[in-house]
Amino acid sequence: MIPREMVLDRHWLLGVARREREALGRTIQYTDPDAWENASPWHGRPIIEVLYHLAATEIAAAEVWGGETTAEIDEHRKTVGDEDATAEGFTLWAVARRGEQSPVQTAREWGRAADLLLDRATATSADDWRERMLPWFGGELRAGYFLQYRVSQWWLHGQDILEGGGLELRSEHDPTFVVNDFAVRLIPYALSLAGEDLGARVVRVELDTVGGGVWTQPTEPGPPPSDDAPADVVIRGRGLWFALLASGRVDPDVAMYEGLVNVGGDVRAGETILRNLRVYP
């Protein structure tokens, strides 16, 4: 199960999600039609494949929230078997199946699913927001975390499309904060997936400017320590760079060498944490 106790405020996150959905819609709209085959400088794949991925996962996310059958995920599972069904494998399968589908058709597919997801999230009660568990590839997510995950994906892949389309990256506090908050919350989960056992440590993350904030997070699953708990590891940096690092768009060793992020306290543990950050379950 992913991650710790307190989810972000429901009304605030719903507002951020609505704005980020519109922002990604504008990014798609303003991308030059001839740029969709451009490779993203970050991962080398054509940015049209990013849009294919968004459409497939958004449809599935809306179905999950609605308690419906996840048609494409189930079809993928039939082709590979339950044991081998992963988020990465589903992405490759869903992208390949869309083939030469046009950006306009795919954008409409994504937009309808995103709107349905937001409608269903908005109709969710405060109790369900905190307690309802939704199934996904990495395990179950609380409803509030599930929407935070989707907003993180919209921000991340919006940056992919902007970069590949030759447009400037978006630098806005709220969605970048959502990404950073999710990355910090996922630290215990990310370390466990990587097979890294740092013991019971306390990490303090202090980020400034866009996406900035302060978090106190344990390295093992469990309730968060108090804000004034002594930290074994301190990570400092700029919010935007931390978000790009956590999403795999910046090499952590380069970020540390350039001083974009700095580690204090147990440096070795801090470097291990930075090398294993993630923003997806």
* DSSP collapsed to 3 states, 55-121: HHHHHHHHHHHCCCCCHHHHHHHHHHCHHHCCHHHHHHHHHHHHCCCCHHHHHHHHHHHHHHHHHHH
pLDDT of 6 reads 64
From edge to edge, which strands make up the β-sheet containing 233-238?
Answer: 213-218, 202-208, 233-238, 261-265
pLDDT single digits (tens) 174-222: 999 999 999 999 999 999 999 999 999 999 999 999 999 999 999 998 8
Cα separations (Å) of 58 from 100, 146, 214? 19, 12, 30
Does the pLDDT at position 241 exceed 80? Answer: yes
pLDDT single digits (tens) 173-185: 999 999 999 999 9
Does the pLDDT at position 2 exceed 60? Answer: no
Q: What is the pTM of this model?
A: 0.94
Mean per-residue pLDDT over the chain, rounded: 93
pLDDT single digits (tens) 31-73: 999 999 999 888 888 999 999 999 999 999 999 999 999 999 9
Q: Which amino acid, residue 43?
A: H
The model's confidence at residue 4, banded by pLDDT at 50, 70 and 90, is: very low
Say how many residues make up the chain.
281
The count of C-alpha atoms lying within 13 angstroms of the C-alpha of 83, restricted to the half-sphere facing its C-beta, is 0
pLDDT of 229 reads 87
CATH topology of domain 10-170: Four Helix Bundle (Hemerythrin (Met), subunit A) (1.20.120)
Does the pLDDT at position 165 exceed 90? Answer: yes
- For CA atoms 16, 21, 27, 29, the dihedral sign is negative
Domain ranges of the chain: 10-170, 181-275
- b/e map 202-236, b = 16+ CB within 10 Å: bbbbbbeebbbbebbbbbeeeebbeeeeebbbbbb
pLDDT single digits (tens) 95-126: 999 988 999 999 999 999 999 999 999 999 99
CATH class of 181-275: alpha beta
pLDDT single digits (tens) 77-87: 888 887 778 88
- Round to whole Å and give the CA distance between 86 and 184: 23
230-258 average pLDDT score: 95
Neighbours of 254 (CB within 10 A): 10
